């Protein structure tokens, strides 16, 4: 039942809501662009997917620290009742937590109690084709709206107080394999997001929409069409099914007004024959002007990829005394450090097991050797198709100057076979299989010194995890494991200080927030969202 | 692409299982009409969605059975195969379509293409004769000592995997390898609903704070705890921080049976027994 109120009553009620909640220690404020730029000033909130525009996934909260972490307890649990992987990172604004669940659920909770304020679930068509589960990784917030990309390739704005749909636009045709799984990024008055669908031979893009109206402001085609620079990096007509999706949330540098967005694999993922060339802008980092969508520079990590090594891992802006840098632990097993003003590579060092490269080009970029290309009968290559890491977020802690990343140790047998493109059907050009010789798969959390790419410490997991990493000013890093544990480790040494068994594997990246002066750490596991705090 | 509806020849099926089954099945001719266009499309889908477990060419992998056998454990009709692919197979690791993280999931049309593909290759099933199942049973519960650690239909030991269904869920080659060289590929044990990989039957030796030494198979392990079944089938639930030492090994607790210990024909007899149980 909807209660209609007059404008005057509305104003009175709004004033009361603000006042009353303010008195209760929790004000529902508008999220402005200025707040997003200055998110470090309000560490109680977690305003974007990665916690800040730099992509650091770092919380300045320190109530939970190396001394107090052993006494952490569960504070509340929210059950989605959904099946499938639960990959969200919540956003928290002034005491209200917004998150997504499988099948495009969105929910708002009282961040103190976990009690539901509103929920929304998009009715999805029966014939959607998400590649990797009916998943979603979160929302963006701006003004009084919450923004969602859907599995049927819509972009939606919901009212942040009710969950009501404010606008809903179609970005692409889901029947051709287009979908959204990432959390959008709000920059100025725009909502920016990249498309998924590299398994279907789509033509990738990054879009910016007017947050107020849903009108598209620009689109950057990650596969350049005829006449555009980079088009000649595709053989013949192969660009038409070139893939290069952009399915993870990028980062933004307010100082230079540059958007940095990573892209995914060329299609078909396991067959390079028929698409000779570098296949721009697949597996690249793009530096874009957020006002126009124009490309400033690009850096391609894996040229002419045949192993499905999307470069979609969240990059992190790092500033040293004189340098403005951007770092990425890439799925291909190398850690890259670039000058973000120019896109020049400073160094690339292996952080996981790799067999595909044993030399570098003049720029210092690792190049593929001649025993890595997939063959019809199959060839073992490390890392495997899921990569040395994947979409699980890394974290950078400026206190330790360490870059924390989840690493998968897995090699696969890559096979290739010709495959015709059929619109809307999976388009891999064969596939990959586990390598018998690689032994049991393992994984770890590694702390990497970004200045030289060397690993400072490593925490070994029993099996590979899909959990990302959070670092905090309390001297901690948090991560989850495939066996269902949520773990706090000493950020300086990697020593585990606390853990909690959540009863389901983690496929998500953790975050932290505070309400009423109390710090909480949250993570999705199984089908539930867990929060932890001090007793 | 050309999708001509070519009806290809019918096949007389001589397959591994038919030979050990009742004579009612053996020698039966089966009419199979295969659309070669659909079968080819199904091969692409198979590589993407199925080959991870069932191997290239559907000849079986470390985890999934050989699907070139005409006689399939969970049903041979198109409808049964469709159901198994679409909904998974309860009580096995076979997941429902699109839920296993491999591939992208399939439409109904694509599932039918997979079935067409499997029909097109099932004539290639090996016709390797197996041994004497009755003698195999005697060996299993007797001289070969299999039942000391393995259970079949509720009878036997607990330290190794239950083998009641293994006759059809693994290829013959994989079964032979796991007897001759059990450490080559450790058997998978516990699978958890949300976890990517299963626990392996690894060997572990721990020393407790009291100095007690425990050796056995790993039932389950995480970063902070380990569950062990020892040689007398006792379960030990242990916290790693309370242990003095923990040593893991991929050397299987199962002894390797060489041809002196277990002759090829005797092994064939045991496999015949396991297949006969699995196809009851």
Tens digits of residue pLDDT in B115-157: 999 998 886 555 556 799 999 999 999 999 999 999 999 999 9
| Chain B nearest-CA residue for A197 | B104
Whether A428 and B45 lie within 8 Å, measured CB to CB: no
Same domain as B170, residue B261: yes
Cβ atoms < 10 Å from Cβ of A354: 18
Question: Do A427 and A419 meet the contact criterion of CB atoms below 8 Å apart?
Answer: yes
DSSP code string of B114-145: HHHHHHHHGGG--------HHHHHHHHHTTT-
Helices (H), A218-375: none
Q: B213: domain CATH number?
A: 2.30.30.100
Q: Which residues contact A16 (CB under 8 A, 6 or more apart)?
A: none
Cα-based angle A128, B195, B178 (whole degrees, multiple of 5): 115
Residues 6 or more apart whose CB falls under 8 angstroms from that of A517 comprise none
What pLDDT, on a 0 to 100 scale, did the predictor assign at position A1? 37
Q: Which residue has the tokens 């059975």?
A: B65
Q: Are residues B137 and B268 in the same domain?
A: yes
Which residues of chain B have a CB within 8 Å of the CB of A487?
223
The answer to whether the Cβ–Cβ distance between B197 and A420 falls below 8 Å is no
**Domain boundary pick from B124, B143, B160:** B124
Tell me how crowded residue B128 is: count the other CB atoms within 10 A of its CB.
12
In the predicted structure, residue A391 carries a pLDDT above the cut 90: yes
HSE of A329 in the Cβ direction (CA atoms, 13 Å)?
A: 36
A171's tokens:
């970005």
My answer on whether B55 and B34 are in the same domain is yes
Q: Are residues B57 and B108 in the same domain?
A: yes
Q: Name the closest residue on chain A to residue B62, using Cα atoms.
A: A436
Chain B residues with beta carbon closer than 8 angstroms to that of A131: 104
Of the candidates B124, B159, B177, which is a domain's last residue?
B124
Which residue in chain B is spatially nearest to A422 when comparing CA positions? B1
Closest partner residue to B223 among A378, A481, A504, by Cβ? A481
Beta bridge partner(s), residue A366 = A360
Distance CA B117, CA B58 (A): 10
Which residue stretches of A328-420 are H helix?
none
Does residue B81 register a pLDDT over 90?
yes
| Min Cα–Cα distance to chain B from A108, Å | 25
Give the position of tokens 């990059």: A315
Residues B270 and B156 placed together within one structural domain of the fold: yes
B92 pLDDT higher than 80: no
Whether residues B242 and B143 share a domain: the answer is: no
Q: Which of A343, A356, A278 lies closest to A315, judged by CA?
A: A343
- Provide the total of helices (H) and of strands (E) in chain B, helices listed first: 9, 9
Whether A499 sits inside 8 A of B105 (CB atoms) is: no
Alpha-carbon distance of A259 to A251, in angstroms, equals: 6
- How many whole angstroms separate alpha carbon A459 and alpha carbon B223? 10
Would you say residue A62 has pLDDT above 70? yes
* C-alpha span between A458 and A395 (Å, rounded): 14
Same domain, B175 and B232: no
Contact B52 A431 (CB under 8 A): yes
Beta strands (DSSP E) in A389-438 are 395-397, 402-409, 412-414, 432-434
- Count CA atoms closer than 13 A to A23's CA, side-chain side: 5
Going by pLDDT thresholds of 50, 70 and 90, the confidence category of residue A129 is: confident
Is residue B264 in some structural domain? yes
Chosen for mutation from A179, A440, A496 (greatest number of chain B CBs closer than 10 Å) is A440
Closest to B51 in 3D by CA, of A414, A384, A177: A414
B4 part of a folded domain = no
**Structure-block tokens of residue B269:** 């007899």
Q: Which of B47, B103, B224 sits opposite A417 (nearest CB)?
A: B47
For residue A431, list its beta bridge partners. Answer: none
Q: Please say if the pLDDT value at position A230 is more than 50.
A: yes
Reported for B88-95, long-range contacts at CB under 8 A and 24+ positions apart, including other chains, are: B92/B165, B92/B169, B93/B53, B93/B63, B93/B188, B93/B191, B93/B198, B94/B64
Helix (H) or strand (E) holding A373: none
Instruction: Quote the number of domains for chain B.
Output: 3
Instruction: Confirm if A449 and B208 have CB atoms less than 8 A apart.
Output: no
CA–CA dist A251, A187 (Å, integer): 10
Ranges A92-96, B9-13, B201-205: which has the least confidence: B9-13
Whole-number Å distance between alpha carbons of A278 and A288: 20
The residue ranking higher by pLDDT, A481 or A5, is: A481
In angstroms, rounded to a whole number, what is the distance separating the alpha carbons of residues A332 and A365? 12
- Rounded to a whole number of angstroms, the distance from the CA of A320 to the nearest CA of chain B is 35
Nearest CA in chain B to A421: B1
Q: Count chain A–chain B contacts defined by CB atoms under 8 A.
A: 96
What integer is the mean pLDDT of B205-213? 97
Reported as a pLDDT band with limits 50, 70 and 90, residue A504 is very high
Q: Are B44 and A419 within 8 A, CB to CB? A: yes
Which residues of chain B have a Cβ shorter than 8 Å from any chain A Cβ?
1, 41, 44-45, 47-49, 51-52, 55-56, 61-62, 99, 101, 103-105, 107, 110, 185-186, 192-197, 200, 202, 221-224, 250
Categorize the per-residue pLDDT at B22 as very low, low, confident or very high, splitting at 50, 70 and 90: very low
Nearest-angstrom CA–CA distance, A246 and A234: 18
Q: Catalytic: which of A103, A308, A397, A412?
A: A308
Return the CATH number at B176: 1.10.760.10
Strand-strand pairing, A496-501 and A511-515: unpaired
What's the pLDDT at A185?
A: 98
From the list B49, B196, B202, the residue facing A464 with the nearest CB is B196
Name, in order, each residue with C-beta under 8 angstroms of A73's C-beta and a sequence gap of 6 or more: A532, A533, A534, A535
Predicted confidence band at B89 (pLDDT cuts at 50, 70, 90)? Answer: confident
Strands A476-480 and A442-449: unpaired
Q: Are residues B61 and B91 in the same domain?
A: yes
Helix, strand, coil shares, percent, chain A, to 5: 10, 40, 55
pLDDT for residue A5 is more than 50: no
Least confident of A366-370, A391-395, A415-419: A415-419
C-beta atoms of B110 and A461 within 8 A: no
β pairing state of A116-121 and A324-329: unpaired
pLDDT for position B44 = 84
A135 has a chain B CB within 8 A of its CB: no
What's the rounded Cα separation, in Å, for the pair A463 and B222?
8
First vs last Cα of chain A: how many Å apart? 39
* Residues of chain B contacting residue A200, judged by C-beta atoms under 8 Å apart: 104
CB contact under 8 A, B196 and A466: yes
Whether A185 contacts A203, CB under 8 Å: no
Q: Could you give the ipTM of this predicted complex?
A: 0.87
The whole-angstrom distance between A225's CA and the closest CA on chain B is: 25
- Taking residues A268-283, report their average pLDDT: 97
Which residue in chain A has the smallest CA separation from B251? A439
In this prediction, residue B49 carries a pLDDT of: 83
A 457-496 → B contacts, CB under 8 A: 461-464, 466, 481-485, 487, 496
Asked if residue B111 belongs to a domain, the reply is yes
Q: φ, ψ for residue A77 (rounded to 5)?
A: -135, 135
**Domains in chain A, CATH or no CATH each:** 32-58+69-533 (2.140.10.10)
pLDDT of B174 strictly over 90: no
Q: A327 near A251, Cβ under 8 Å? A: no
Report the C-alpha gap between A359 and A378 in whole angstroms: 23
Substitution target from B3, B40, B47 for chain A, most A beta carbons within 10 A = B47
Q: Which residues of B touch A484 (CB under 8 A)?
A: 192, 194-195, 222
The CB density around residue B217, as the number of other CB atoms within 10 Å, is 26
C-alpha count within 13 angstroms, C-beta hemisphere, residue A204: 32
Closest-CA distance, B253 to chain A, in angstroms, reads 17
Strand segments (E) across A19-144: 58-59, 73-79, 91-93, 96-101, 105-110, 116-121, 140-142
Specify if B6 maps to a domain.
Answer: no
Whether B175 and B85 share a structural domain = no
Q: How far is B195 from chain A (nearest CA, A)?
A: 6
Dihedral, B245, B249, B252, B253 alpha carbons, nearest 10: -10
Distance, in Å, from the CA atom of A408 to the CA atom of A410, rounded to the nearest integer, reads: 6
Alpha helices in chain B (DSSP H): 16-20, 36-49, 51-54, 78-87, 108-121, 133-141, 166-169, 172-180, 264-278
Task: Please say whether the beta carbons of A341 and A255 come within 8 A.
Answer: no
Q: How far is B137 from chain A (nearest CA, A)?
A: 31
Overall average pLDDT of the A103-114 stretch: 98
Interchain CB contact of A158 with B (< 8 Å): no
Query: Chain A residue closest to B185 (CA)?
Result: A436
Is B273 found in the same domain as B164? yes
For residue A308, indicate whether it is catalytic.
yes
Do B160 and B218 touch, CB atoms closer than 8 A? no
Based on the domain organization, do B36 and B171 belong to the same domain? no
Q: Which residue has the higher pLDDT, B33 or B91?
A: B91
Q: Strand pairing of B29-30 and B11-12? A: antiparallel
Any CB–CB contact under 8 A between A505 and chain B?
yes
What's the rounded mean pLDDT across residues A29-45? 96
Q: How confident is the model at residue A332 (pLDDT cuts 50, 70, 90)?
A: very high
Task: Tell me if B223 and A526 make a contact (CB, 8 A cut-off).
Answer: no
- Judge whether B176 lies within some domain: yes
Q: Residue B227 sits in which domain range?
A: 203-249
Tell me the chain B residues in contact with residue A482 when contact means C-beta distances shorter than 8 Å. Answer: 195-197
In a domain, B139, yes or no: yes
- For helices B78-87 and B108-121, give the axis angle rounded to 10 degrees: 120
Cross-chain residue pair A485–B192, CB shorter than 8 Å: no
Shared domain for B68 and B152, answered yes or no, is no
A275-302 average pLDDT score: 98
Give the residue among B22, B59, B33 at the shortest CA–CA distance from B170.
Answer: B59
Residue finishing a domain among B87, B102, B124: B124
Cβ of A422 within 8 Å of Cβ of B61? The answer is no
- Report yes or no on B193 lying in a domain: no
Give the integer Cα–Cα distance in Å for A265 and A343: 20
Task: Find, among B100, B95, B94, B97, the residue nearest to B111 by Cα.
Answer: B97
Residue B100 confidence (pLDDT): 61
- Cα atoms found within 13 Å of the Cα of residue B26, Cβ hemisphere only: 10
What residues of A are in contact with residue B101 (Cβ under 8 Å)?
A: 132-133
| Amino acid B60: pLDDT | 77
In the predicted model, what is the mean pLDDT of residues B159-171? 90
3-state secondary structure of B45: helix
Closest-CA distance, B239 to chain A, in angstroms, reads 12
Rounded Cα gap, residues A212 and B51, in angstroms: 47
Hey, is A258 helix, strand or coil?
A: strand
CA distance B50 to chain A (A): 10
Residues of B in contact with A422 (CB under 8 A): 1, 41
At A6 the pLDDT is 40
- A108 within 8 A of A95, measured Cβ to Cβ: no
Query: Would you say residue B197 lies in a domain?
Result: no
């Amino acid at each position: 039942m909807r209660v209609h109120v007059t404008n005057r009553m509305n104003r009175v009620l709004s004033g009361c809501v603000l006042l009353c909640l303010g008195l209760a220690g929790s004000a529902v404020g508008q999220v402005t662009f200025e707040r997003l730029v200055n998110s470090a000033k309000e560490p109680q909130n977690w305003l974007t997917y990665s916690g800040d525009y730099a992509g650091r996934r770092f919380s300045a909260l320190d109530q939970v620290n190396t001394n107090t972490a052993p006494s952490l307890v569960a504070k509340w649990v929210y059950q989605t009742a959904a099946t499938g992987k639960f990959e969200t990172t919540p956003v928290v604004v002034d005491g209200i937590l917004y998150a997504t669940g499988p099948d495009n659920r969105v929910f708002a909770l009282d961040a103190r109690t976990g009690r539901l304020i509103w929920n929304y679930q998009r009715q999805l068509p029966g014939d959607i084709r998400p590649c990797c589960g009916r998943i979603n990784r979160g929302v963006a917030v701006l003004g009084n709206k919450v923004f969602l990309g859907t599995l049927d390739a819509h972009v939606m704005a919901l009212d942040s107080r009710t969950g009501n749909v404010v606008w809903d636009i179609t970005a692409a045709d889901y029947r051709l394999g287009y979908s959204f799984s990432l959390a959008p990024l709000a920059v100025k008055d725009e909502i920016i997001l990249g498309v998924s669908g590299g398994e279907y031979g789509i033509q990738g893009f990054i879009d910016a929409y007017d947050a107020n109206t849903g009108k598209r402001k620009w689109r950057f085609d990650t596969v350049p069409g005829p006449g555009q620079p980079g088009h000649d990096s595709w053989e013949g007509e192969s660009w038409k099914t070139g893939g290069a999706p952009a399915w993870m949330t990028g980062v933004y540098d307010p100082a230079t007004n540059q958007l940095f967005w990573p892209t995914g694999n060329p299609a078909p993922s396991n067959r390079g024959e028929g698409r000779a060339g570098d296949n721009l802008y697949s597996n690249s980092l793009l530096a874009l002007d957020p006002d126009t969508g124009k490309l400033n520079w690009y850096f391609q990590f894996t040229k002419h990829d045949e192993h499905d090594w999307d470069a979609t891992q969240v990059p992190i802006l790092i500033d040293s005394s004189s340098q403005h840098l951007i770092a990425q632990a890439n799925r291909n097993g190398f850690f890259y450090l670039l000058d973000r003003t120019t896109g020049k590579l400073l160094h690339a060092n292996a952080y996981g097991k790799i067999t595909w490269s044993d030399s570098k080009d003049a720029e210092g970029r690792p190049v593929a050797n001649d025993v890595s290309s997939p063959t019809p009968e199959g060839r073992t290559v490390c890392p495997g198709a899921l990569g040395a890491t994947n979409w699980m977020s890394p974290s950078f802690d400026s206190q330790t100057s360490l870059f924390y990343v989840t690493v998968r140790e897995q090699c696969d047998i890559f096979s290739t076979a010709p495959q015709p493109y059929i619109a809307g059907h999976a388009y891999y050009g064969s596939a990959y299989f586990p390598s018998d010789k690689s032994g049991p798969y393992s994984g770890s959390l590694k702390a990497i010194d970004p200045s030289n790419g060397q690993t400072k410490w490593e925490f070994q997991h029993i099996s590979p995890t899909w959990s990302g990493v959070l670092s905090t000013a309390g001297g901690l890093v948090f991560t989850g494991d495939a066996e269902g544990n949520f773990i706090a480790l000493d950020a300086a040494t990697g020593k585990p200080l606390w853990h909690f068994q959540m009863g389901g594997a983690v496929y998500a990246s953790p975050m932290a927030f505070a309400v009423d002066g109390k710090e909480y750490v949250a993570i999705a596991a199984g089908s539930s969202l867990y929060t932890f705090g001090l007793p | 692409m050309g999708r001509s509806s070519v009806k290809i020849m019918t096949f007389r099926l001589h397959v591994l299982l038919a030979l050990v089954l009742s004579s009612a099945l053996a020698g039966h001719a089966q009419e199979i009409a295969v659309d070669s266009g659909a079968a080819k499309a199904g091969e692409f889908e198979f590589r993407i969605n199925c080959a991870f477990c069932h191997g290239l060419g559907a000849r079986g992998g470390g985890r999934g059975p050989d699907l070139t056998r005409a006689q399939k454990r969970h049903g041979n009709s198109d409808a049964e195969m469709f159901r198994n692919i679409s909904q998974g197979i309860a009580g096995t690791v076979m997941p429902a379509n699109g839920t296993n993280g491999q591939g992208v999931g399939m439409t109904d049309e694509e599932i039918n293409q997979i079935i067409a593909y499997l029909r097109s290759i099932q004539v290639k099933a090996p016709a390797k004769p197996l041994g004497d199942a009755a003698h195999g049973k005697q060996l299993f519960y007797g001289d070969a000592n299999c039942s000391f650690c393995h259970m079949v239909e509720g009878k036997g030991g607990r330290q190794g995997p239950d083998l009641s269904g293994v006759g059809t869920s693994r290829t013959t080659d994989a079964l032979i390898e796991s007897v001759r060289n059990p450490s080559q590929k450790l058997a998978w044990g516990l699978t958890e609903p949300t976890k990517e990989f299963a626990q392996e039957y690894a060997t572990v030796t721990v020393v407790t704070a009291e100095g007690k030494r425990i050796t056995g198979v790993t039932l389950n392990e995480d970063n902070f705890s380990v569950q062990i079944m020892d040689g007398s089938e006792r379960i030990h639930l242990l916290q790693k921080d309370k242990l003095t030492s923990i040593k893991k090994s991929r050397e299987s607790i199962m002894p390797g049976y060489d041809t002196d210990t277990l002759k090829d024909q005797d092994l064939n007899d045991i496999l015949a027994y396991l297949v006969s149980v699995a196809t009851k």
